[in-house]
Structure 1
Amino acid sequence: MNKLLITGATTMITLTSAAHAQSSVTLYGLIDAGLTYTSNERTAPGSGHSSWQMTSGAVQDSRWGLRGAEDLGAGMKAVFALESGFDVNNGQYTSGNRIFNRQAWVGVSSREYGALTLGRQTDLMVDFVAPLSLTGTEFGGTHFAHPFDIDNLNDSFQINNAVKYMSPAFYGFRLGALYGFSNQAGGFTNNRAYSFGLSYVSGAWNFAVGYLQLNSSARTPAQLNANGAVTDTTAASLQSALTTSAVPIGVLADKQRTLGAGVNYTFGPAVAGFVYSQSKITRFFQTNLSVNFQNFEGNFRYAFTPAVEFSGAYTYSRAGGNGGGGIPHWNQVSAMADYRLSRRTDVYVQGAWQRVSPSGTSPLGVAWINGVSNPSSTTTQVQASAGLRHRF
C-alpha cells in the first residue's frame, strides 16, 4: 500500500512537472538611472540655463514586463507579452495612465510559419531598422536619436489595435507586416497605421529596410480619434516645437510616410553601420504645410574587452518643404563608454553635441537633443550622462 502511494505521488509530480514544462511565464525588466547635464535649456523666449537632473532612461527606458508561452503541439505555441515603462525617479508610468504602455499583445507562433500577434505593438521600423542604429540599441539609446525621433527608431510610440505578422528566418531573410486599425465607425483611415519590414543576414553583414505610414484626416487635436492606432504622449518633441499637441505629428496630418534602411558589418570585436531614414509629412492641421525629413547616420562600436565597450555615431539631418523658413540642418555627434560589472549590471558615461543651422524663420530649426526636457536657447546643445543600468 505504501509503495502504491509513493508511486502515485511520484506520478503526480512527474505529470505536474511536464505540464509546467509546456507553459511558462517570465518576469523581466530593466532599470536605467543616472545624472544628466544639459546646456542651454530654454526657460523663456530668448533666455536659457544649463541644468543638472537625475534622469530615468538616459540610454534605455526603464521597464518591467511579463512574457509567456504555452506549447500547443506540432511546433505551435500561444504567446503573449505585457510591458510597462516607468520613471525610476518617481515610480510613475511614462505614458498617460496605461498600465502596459510599451507592449500588450497575444498571439500564436510556429517554428515553421512564424508568429501572428494582436494588440499594442512596435512597428517594423523599430523591429528591423532600429537595431542597426545606435539609438535603437543598448549602445546609444535615447539621446542618440535623430532630431525629434521623427523616424521612431528610438521607439517613442507604439501602435494600438495592431495585427502583426513576423516570419521565421529563411535562408537569412526575415520579413514582417503590421496593420493598426483606427477602430472608428465611419473613419476607417482616421488615425490608422501600417508598416512593413525586411532583413537579411549573411555572415558578417546585416541588412534591413522598414516602412511606416500614419494616416489621419489632418485633424486638429480636439478632433483626433483618441482610440486610433497612435495616441502616445511620449513622442511629443516635434509637435512641441510647432504646437502644444500631445500626439505624434503624423497623426495630426493627412499622412506621414517613413522609410528607413540600414546595414551593419561585424569584424572581430567591432561593428560599423550606416542608417538612412526619410519621413514625409503632408497637410498639417488641414493646411497645405508639409515637411520632408532626412537622416544620415554613421555608427561604430568596439569591444576592448568583454567588459569594456565604446560606441559612437555621427548624424546629419535636414528638413525641407513648404512649412516656412527654408531648410534647417542638424549635425549631431554622440559617444558612449560602457563597463559591465556583471552580465546584468553595467555603468556608463555618454554624451551628445548637436548644432542646428536654421534657415529663415522655420520653427523646426531648433537644437533639441532627444530626451532632453527643453530645446536649446541657442543653435547648439550639449548633453552628458553618467548612469547605472540593471537587467532582471
Structure 2
Amino acid sequence: MKKALAAAALLTFGVAAHAQSSVTLYGRLDAGLEYMNGVPQNQVGGSATSSTHRFRAESGDWGTSLWGLKGSEDLGGGTKAVFQLEGSFNTMTGAGPGGGGLFNRWATVGFANDQFGTFTMGRMLFISNGVWDFDPFGQSNWSSASLVRGRNWPQSSNNVAYQSPKIAGFDFYGQYALSNATNWNGNGTTAQGREAGAQVTYTSSLFQVRGLYDEIRNPANGGLFGPNPAAGDPTNTGNIGTGVFAASREYSALLNVFLGQFKIQAAYQAIRSSGATNYLPGTPTTLDHEWGGITWQATPAAALIAAVYHVNANNGGGNATIYTVGGSYNLSKRTLLDLQVATTQNSKTANFGLNANNAGTSVATDNPLPGHSQTGVYAGIQHSF
C-alpha cells in the first residue's frame, strides 16, 4: 500500500512539474507577386548601362517567412528559464537560411523574472531592429531598411542582452555582442566584430518615444568604418555593402502617436562612421535618415498605410526618397492579404533601390542606374501560426 501511495505521489509531482514548463511552435509564411521597373541590365565593365522591368514571385516582401520554438520552465520564486529558436526561409522555394544556420534569427537561452527583468544569451536580431515598432510598414522589404542598405535589420551572434520590466512607463533594453577575436573589437580572425547597443522607451496611452544607440564594428580591424573599395577591401561577411552601411554608429529618435483609429509615426537616424579615409566618391561615411507615416485602422480588419522615407549621404552619395502606400486586410486572426506600391526617387549621384541592396552599380546589386527611379507593386498573402 505504501509503495502504491509513493508511486501516486511521484506521478502527481511529475504532472505538476510538466505543467510548469511550456514549449510553443510558431511561424509565419509570406508569399506574393511583385512587379518592378528600373531594374538594371546590360552590364559593361563594372556597371549596368540600361534598365528593364520584371514580374516575379516573392517570399517575405510584407514580412519575413519564419518558424521557431520558444518555451519556459518555472524555477520558482517568480523566475523562469526561457529559450527561443527561430529561423527564416523562402516560402516560394522552401530554401532555408543557408550560411546563417538553421536558427539564423534567434537562438537564445536565459532567465526571466517579472520583477527583475530578462537576461538572455546567444544569437539575436541586432538591437537596430528596434525601429520595427516605429516603422509604418514594419520593416517590410520596402521601408526603413531600404535607404540604409539593410543597416537596420541584421542579426548578431555572441550576444548577452537584458530587458528591464516596465517602470512608470519606462523600460530599458541593452545588447552586447563579443567579437570572439583575439582583439576585443575584432581583427579579422572571426566573422563578426564587436557589436552593442541600448534603447530606452517610454510608453503611454497617447504616445510612445524611444531613443536608441547602436554600433557595429568592422570584423577585419575592429574599426567603426566599413570596407574601403579604394583600398581594395572586400565586403565584410555578415555585413551589407561598404563604408557607413557595413560598420558605424547609429543614433535614433523614434515616435509613435496614438489617435483613435490613426497611428502617426516618425523617426530620425544619424549614422556615422569614424576614422574612414580615402573613400571613393559615392561611398558615404555619414547618413541622415528620416521617415514619417500614418496608419488608418479603417475597420478591425482593414488598415491603410502611407509613408515617406528619405536619406542624405555625404561624399557624393546623394539623396533619395521612397514614397509608398499600401495596406492589409485580415481574413481572420491569423491570415491577411497585403498590398504595397512604392517608388524610389534618386538625386543625380544616388542609386538607392526599393530593396535593401548592396551598394554599387553592377547588375548584381539590383540598384537602379544613378539618378534614376525604381517603382514596384507587391500583393501577397501572409499566414501566422
TM bin (shorter chain): 0.7 to 0.9
Please state how far the C-alpha of 1:351 moved relative to its aligned partner: 1.6
Taking a change above 3 Å as real, the CA distance of residues 367 and 215 of structure 1, as seen in their structure-2 partners, is closer
Take 2:78 and 2:71, find their aligned partners in 1: how far apart are those partners?
16
Matched, 1:178 2:181: no
Matched, 1:367 2:352: yes
Query: What is the TM-score normalised by the length of structure 2?
Result: 0.84
Take 2:155 and 2:92, find their aligned partners in 1: how far apart are those partners?
23
Residue from 82, 87, 90 that aligns with 1:87: 90
Please state how far the C-alpha of 1:32 moved relative to its aligned partner: 0.2
Query: Structure 2 matches for 1:255-334, cutoff 5 A?
Result: 255-283=247-275, 287=278, 291-320=285-314, 323=315, 326-334=316-324
Paired position in structure 2 for 1:107: 110
Taking a change above 3 Å as real, the CA distance of residues 374 and 217 of structure 1, as seen in their structure-2 partners, is closer
Paired position in structure 2 for 1:162: 159
Take 1:76 and 1:85, find their aligned partners in 2: how far apart are those partners?
30
Q: Is contact 2:145–2:356 with CA below 8 Å preserved after alignment?
A: no
- Unaligned 5+ segments in structure 2 are 43-47, 188-192, 224-228, 358-364
Please state how far the C-alpha of 1:125 moved relative to its aligned partner: 2.6
Identity %: 28
Taking a change above 3 Å as real, the CA distance of residues 27 and 313 of structure 1, as seen in their structure-2 partners, is same
Q: Is contact 2:178–2:184 with CA below 8 Å preserved after alignment?
A: no
Paired position in structure 2 for 1:343: 333
SS of the residue 1:212 aligns to: strand
Take 1:265 and 1:375, find their aligned partners in 2: how far apart are those partners?
34
Paired position in structure 1 for 2:45: none
Query: What is the TM-score normalised by the length of structure 1?
Result: 0.82
The residue type paired with residue 274 of structure 1 is A
Please state how far the C-alpha of 1:89 moved relative to its aligned partner: 1.3
Paired position in structure 1 for 2:361: none
SS of the residue 1:130 aligns to: helix
Paired position in structure 2 for 1:248: 239
Take 1:180 and 1:162, find their aligned partners in 2: how far apart are those partners?
4
Taking a change above 3 Å as real, the CA distance of residues 61 and 249 of structure 1, as seen in their structure-2 partners, is closer
Paired position in structure 1 for 2:68: 65
- Unaligned 5+ segments in structure 1 are 226-237, 360-364
Matched, 1:36 2:26: no
Matched, 1:356 2:350: no
Residue from 130, 133, 136 that aligns with 2:135: 133
SS of the residue 2:273 aligns to: strand
Paired position in structure 1 for 2:200: 198
Take 1:77 and 1:34, find their aligned partners in 2: how far apart are those partners?
39
Matched, 1:48 2:46: no
Deviations 1:304-338 (A, max 9, x none): 11111111111121101xx4xx3511111111121
Deviations 1:243-297 (A, max 9, x none): 765542588779510111111111111101111111112455x746651111111
SS of the residue 2:93 aligns to: coil
The residue type paired with residue 60 of structure 1 is G
Take 1:217 and 1:305, find their aligned partners in 2: how far apart are those partners?
48
Runs of 4+ in 1 over 2 A off after TM superposition: 7-17, 122-125, 145-153, 186-190, 216-219, 242-247, 249-255, 281-284, 286-290
